[in-house]
Structure 1
Amino acid sequence: MASQEPRYVAIAQRKQAQLAAAIPAEWRLPAHVIPEGMLSISESITVGPKEYQRVGVMDIPRTCGLLTAKELEITEKYDVRGLVEEMTEGRLKAEEVVRGFCKRAAVAHQLTRCLTEPLFDRALQRARELDDHLQRTGTPVGPLHGLPVSVKDSFNIEGVDSSIGLSALAFKPATANAPLVDLLQSLGAVVIAKTNIPQTLATLDSCNHLFGRTLNPLNRQWTAGGSTGGEGALVAMRGSMVGFGTDIGGSIRVPAMCQGIYGFKPSDGRVPYGGQESGQMDGKGRIGLQPVAGPLARSVADINAIMAEIVPRAELFGEDCIPGYWPAPSVSGALSAPRNFTIGILKTDGLVTPLPPITRILNEVANTLRHTPGVEVVDIPLPSVLPKCQALAGRLMGLDDGSHMLDLIESMGEDLMPWLQGRMKRGKALTVDQLAKLQAQRAEVEREMMKMWTLSSQASSVARRVDAIICPVAPHPVPELDRYNAVGYTSTFVLLDYPAGVVPVRAFAESDLEIGRAMEEPVLGSWDKANRKLWDEKTVDRRVYLGSPLSVQVVTPKQHDHQLFRAMEIIDRAVQGRGVSSSAKL
């Protein structure tokens, strides 16, 4: 007697059919345009990375013939402020802008599986309403009038699923918008799609049974990152002007690193986080580690443009937000103080030694900054408590027994993704006493880490403040599928609630390979040992990293979110050889 298919199979088929039906026939790529290797949904979950062809798809939207010359110009020419100005001044219609981005998002999805919920019909209807309002009144609907944006699948949108890749949550549409969605719409932005995530939202490679695996458009051998991997792929392919993700262990910064774009993890309370489906027990984030929401974009300027509108209004929409101020770009220069901007270099977390190309890119950026007018560079000694942060963050993330998520998965007969097998299991929930002790340890770490932001001068007893630090995003380059290793370089700054961003620097080059040269530093522990496998020529062909983006992480003290933008701007201008504008100095 044949065994019965698990319940999730039929639901996944229905969900895929629904997704496909949301893409107009005239937006579908001809079969010959899609590179070989776009495997079926089930195959994409289990296939090893060696099965994929070494191929990127970044140029296909430009060469496939589906987008008109004007649609290519709309989706490639402008930054956020420039595109909004074109619409508010009447030179472009919101409808033609939104249609161009919806079409490009559809193309991106067919190449990477980045979408979960295409919202093209309702987005175009909203764009027509914006055009009508502008024509009738002569005024735009908010400062982001007509701007096409996208959000991670977990954000609720009324009438749309927030299935987060779980068949148990499919076909159960949300009854209300997440506060962030309401805020974006009040600003005039148009949400065109929701994007793919990993099963459990707890891995750094976006793969699940409902939607399959999101592929990295730069090279499908590399992970797209997670848990905001679909958003990273869509933004990288210019299918959205700005995407919104969440971050508790690195879920904004990791996809940004993997796809060579900019990610911004703000402090808690800056961007509305509520109104999401997490598959976890309600209120978990209030008692453990607090996840945050933030943007992914293709430039520092676009992050500034978005945060400048969100931060001052967030408290009016999110019960989890605090009053915030974000200076308008026109007045940033007026706020400059008569001193240098001090950037510290933190080379390691003391737990996992960065691989040679990561150390090299950090040193390159530091040397560039040392020759940048108005910038002072200092080395940051390893704080003694920093190596403790990864384990502490991990325990606070896993304070429950995991049963809520596993019940959802098992109820439909789903298997865990390969990376999760052996890593995720039912545990034992922390007691109130245990949780209180962990939070007390967290407070001790926070107090000790405050010292990192001051440098004592031998000539003076006055402490001098460090404005920002740069450090690795990860201790390894962009890895192959399911091989992302250490999360401590990103989860630490959620534990500490420090705003942190990602700035891409350059591509991995032949000179970074160091073929035949092994690492000589002593192995620090199990995480470090695992990280070495991504460089050991017995376990990896280092040439797989060629062409991958190398990035740095930028961090500022708690609630210094605008200072993080300024630091990212300084670093970005320096590494791109554009110099530092006077408005970038504090």
Structure 2
Amino acid sequence: MAGDKTYVDISRAKCEQRDRFIRDDWRISKKLSLGNNVTQVPKTCGILTEREIGITEDNDAVDLVKKIRQQEYTAEEVTVAFCKRAAIAQQLTNCLTEIFFEDAIERARQLDQERASNPSAPWKPLHGLPISLKDSFNVPGLDSTIGMTYFANKPATEYSALPKLLLDLGAVLYCKTNVPQTMMTADSDNNVFGRTLNPSNLKLTAGGSSGGEGSLIAMRGSVLGIGTDIAGSIRIPSICNGIYGARPSSGIVPFDGQQSPEDPGMPGIEVVAGPMATSSRACAFFMKTIMSAQAWRYDTSCLHLRWQGHQSSRKPRIGLVLDDGVYTPFPPVRRTIREAAQKLRDAGLDVVELRLPHVPAAVGITYGMFAVDGCEFVQNLIKEGKEPEVESVTRVNLAAIPKSSLQGYMDLTAGRRKLQAAYHEFWFENELDAIILPGAPQTATRFDEWGPISYTMLWNFLDYPATIIPTGRVRESDVADGDDSALYGEQDLKNYKLYDSPETYKDAPLSVQVVGMKQEDEALAEIVGLVDSILNHS
């Protein structure tokens, strides 16, 4: 930090700097009347042309790549459309951190010129596709504050591995998105950029830690963005915002070179990067592209695992999990998982109801692995930044988390291996191709109230890939019921009582989570596509 500037001074300067990169004619009229659901404002505010509305609303990432190749769109006009829409999304939901629209438009213009001068050259897989990035990814000349004053005004000098690969594949990078202070909570709120809002209901959380991505994509200011996930940080914002999000197996998508709130030598649960998008096929397209691009050339931790292009000729056998035995789902979450299961059965899929084994033990080990150092590293970053904790971080109570001894950590590792073996056996005993379950016991909650992460965290613990599929929204008929519906004790009851009425959660998205086996990401993508087509006629 420079001189005697306070965290408030730093925040004000960073926000003013960011907002200067929004063109004057892309600014929303202050006279515009807004409700709690702002998802339709980009279409009606008068900033986007009809063609730009079509580009941003009528296409997913796969469509855009195809139409640019067919010269139906230029890379430049696609990039301008998404920069404009991202600017609108920022003004409504505070989803962006770093804006580099002008650089992106210039890159897209150069891509168009290169095609015009050499039309017979092979197309790059992502030619002209705008992709947004979570704030933790480094881009030269830009900060990666990850919601912490300590990292402000310390611009990166090199690209993280994944943005470098995306650029080499022809993508256009144009903005970075907001996260929680510390990236350790499910509310994207911090002292640098403030809180990101949920566009479906501005009174509800956008989730975290990839909450800015979730909000931006829900506003269609992006159709493909990149988040990261160590306990649900891709999937929780996908749940909250009603979008698709995939947590890959570790070692498939490059992760190296990111800003992190953890000591660089921290062992334990693997954090992964993955896609967040407006369609399941866009997530599969991203995974296919990365797995076909020799990602290990960019990140030494990546496996030499390629996309095979195989398709199964039989219908999958899917395990149905209605709850995780630790937290009872809210009434609308219970409804949507049962409706999804019935649709799959009606479509002729083999769906077998199961109970997950050892969830409390897995959760306990995971929390222990997250805090081997007693979270001292991240607490020191907060102290050195001379900033207070935001409410969601205060509720985590980092100072109360005990350190682990070396023997304690080895015990955690041994426990993890034992439970991974148990789930391996569970999978084959039940002859599973996938599991479908809620992504969380709750919908998007009010600010700072998101608690349980066991439904997502379990699959990080096991290193199984998992994808969120939107299924609808809370209905008026999703009435709150009695406390006796909470089945699993005091903490479960406390969380369950957050759901007080469908009016509080009006327009909150609903979803299901589909899980596959470790490193079977391609097989899972195929199943997700099938399940999505049945649930959403996509």
TM-score normalized with structure 2 length: 0.95
SS in 2 for 1:200: helix
Select which of 97, 104, 123 maps to 1:123.
104
Residue 447 (structure 1) aligned with residue 421 (structure 2): yes
Paired amino acid for 1:534: L
Instruction: Supply the AA of the counterpart residue of 2:288.
Output: A
Residue 355 (structure 2) pairs with residue 381 (structure 1): yes
Question: Alignment partner of 1:511: what SS?
Answer: coil
> 8 Å contact 1:130–1:141 — kept in the other structure?
no
Distance 1:365 1:522, change over 3 A: closer
AA partner of residue 533 (structure 2) = R
The alignment partner of 2:398 has SS state of coil
The letter for the 2-side match of 1:411 is E
**Which position in structure 1 is the counterpart of 2:489?**
525
* 2:448 aligned partner, one-letter code: D
SS at match of 1:421: helix
**Per-residue deviation, 1:481:** 1.4
In structure 2, the gaps of 5 or more residues are none
Greater mean alpha carbon deviation, residues 433-442 or residues 308-317: 308-317
Deviations 1:310-341, CA, capped at 9 Å, x for gaps:
1222222111210122245xxx5xx324x331
1:401 matched to which residue of 2? Answer: 374
* Aligned counterpart, 1:114: 95
Is 1:260–1:550's contact at 8 Å kept on the other side of the alignment? yes
Q: CA deviation at 1:19?
A: 0.3
Name which of 338, 347, 364 aligns with 1:391: 364
Distance of aligned partners of 1:522 and 1:81 in 2 relative to their CA distance in 1, 3 Å threshold: closer
Q: Does residue 555 of structure 1 match 2:519?
A: no
Q: What is residue 46 of structure 1 aligned with on the other side?
A: none
Contact persistence 1:349–1:387 (CA under 8 A): no
Q: Tell me the SS of whatever aligns to 2:246.
A: strand
1:356 and 2:331 equivalent?
A: yes
**1:91 maps to 2:72:** yes
1:85-484 maps to which residues of 2 (within 5 A)? 85-138=66-119, 139=121, 142-284=124-266, 287-313=267-293, 314-328=295-309, 332=310, 335-337=311-313, 339-373=314-348, 375-383=349-357, 385-426=358-399, 427-455=401-429, 465-484=431-450
Residue 9 of structure 1: CA displacement?
Answer: 1.3
Q: Deviations over 1:104-140 (max 9, x none)?
A: 1011000000000011011011111101110111136
Evaluate the alpha carbon distance shift between residue 397 and residue 526 of structure 1 in structure 2; reply closer, same or farther with a 3 A threshold: farther
Q: 1:17-36 to 2 correspondence within 5 Å?
A: 17-33=16-32, 35=34
Structure showing greater Rg: 1
User: CA 1:159/1:522 → structure 2, altered by over 3 Å: closer, same or farther?
Assistant: closer
CA shift, 1:397, in A, is 0.9
Distance 1:544 1:140, change over 3 A: farther
8 Å CA contact 1:246–1:252 kept in 2: the answer is yes
Counterpart AA for 1:351: V
In structure 2, the residue matched to 1:74 is: 55
> CA–CA distance in 2 between the matches of 1:492 and 1:151?
25
Give the alignment's Cα RMSD to 1 decimal.
1.8
Kindly indicate whether the alpha-carbon contact (under 8 Å) linking 2:239 and 2:470 is maintained by their aligned counterparts in 1: yes
CA distance in 1, matches of 2:94, 2:395: 26
The superposition leaves residues 371-419 of structure 1 with CA deviations (integer Å, 9 ceiling, x where unpaired) of 113x211112332x12211121111111112222222212233111112
3-state DSSP of counterpart to 2:393: coil
Provide structure 1 residue ranges, at least 5 long, that are not aligned to the other structure: 36-53, 457-464, 579-586
Listed one character per residue, the Cα deviations across residues 287-319 of structure 1 (whole Å, up to 9, x for unaligned) are 111111100001111112111101222222111
The aligned amino acid for 1:248 is I
1:5 CA displacement: 8.9
Contact 1:513 1:543 in 2 (8 A): no
Report if aligned partners of 2:332, 2:475 keep a CA contact under 8 Å in 1.
no
TM-score (norm 1): 0.88
How many residues are treated as equivalent by the alignment? 533
Q: Are 2:328 and 2:486, in contact at CA under 8 Å, matched by a contact in 1?
A: no
Q: Please give the alpha-carbon distance, in whole angstroms, between the structure 1 residues aligned to 2:241 and 2:486.
A: 31
